[in-house]
Amino acid sequence: MKDPQAACLEASILRDLHARDVAVPGVLACEGNLLVLEYLPGEPLPDIIERGNYSPATLASALCDWFAAFYAAVPESRGDVNGRNFLCDGEKIYSVDFEERCFESPAKDAGRLAAFIETYNTSDTLKQIALAEAIMCAFVESFDCDMSEILSEKEAEYDAMRLRRHHRPQP
């Protein structure tokens, strides 16, 4: 990290979540802008999606379980739900990258995560869409989210993606 304050904030967030049994890495050290975290098993969510060897319902349920533990631990949303911030070891979901606090709704988390999942480049887009839909439905059932709000957040994330891609510096 470039900013020692950001490293300190992330260490604080991770320590708090870890103490509350949320599946995140433990903090081994934090000095200046260096944050040393424990190793977590598993592979990034996009790699699993790209390979296609998953059950959409099972993976959506595991993700929802992680979010349930997170929401029970802190009064905030995850915010940064890029799929690369989630690891799966085949049974359990872990999450990394907590550089900032986010006080949004679970519907925003669900919509943004669904948008990321739907945009990965895979050979089985129907399975991807099924996973995104399973996640959105699980959030409706588990966190009393409104599906129209989730869909609105998903569209907002698509718009944000287009802007990021449009404004990306050219090599």
Could you report the per-residue pLDDT of 19-37, keeping only the tens digit for each?
999 999 999 999 888 889 9
pTM of the complete model: 0.87
pLDDT in tens, 108-157: 999 999 999 998 878 888 999 999 999 999 999 999 899 999 999 999 99
**Would 96 be classed as within a structural domain?**
yes
CATH number for the domain that contains residue 148: 1.10.510
Cα dist from 113 to 22, 108, 168, whole Å: 19, 8, 21
Number of structural domains found in the chain = 1
Look up the domain containing 122 and give its range. 41-166
In a domain, 58, yes or no: yes
* 3 lies in some domain: no
- Nearest 5°: the CA angle 6, 9, 10 is 85
Q: Is residue 162 part of a domain?
A: yes
pLDDT tops 80 at residue 102: no
* Residue 35 belongs to some domain of the structure: no
- Is residue 6 in some structural domain? no
In a domain, 25, yes or no: no
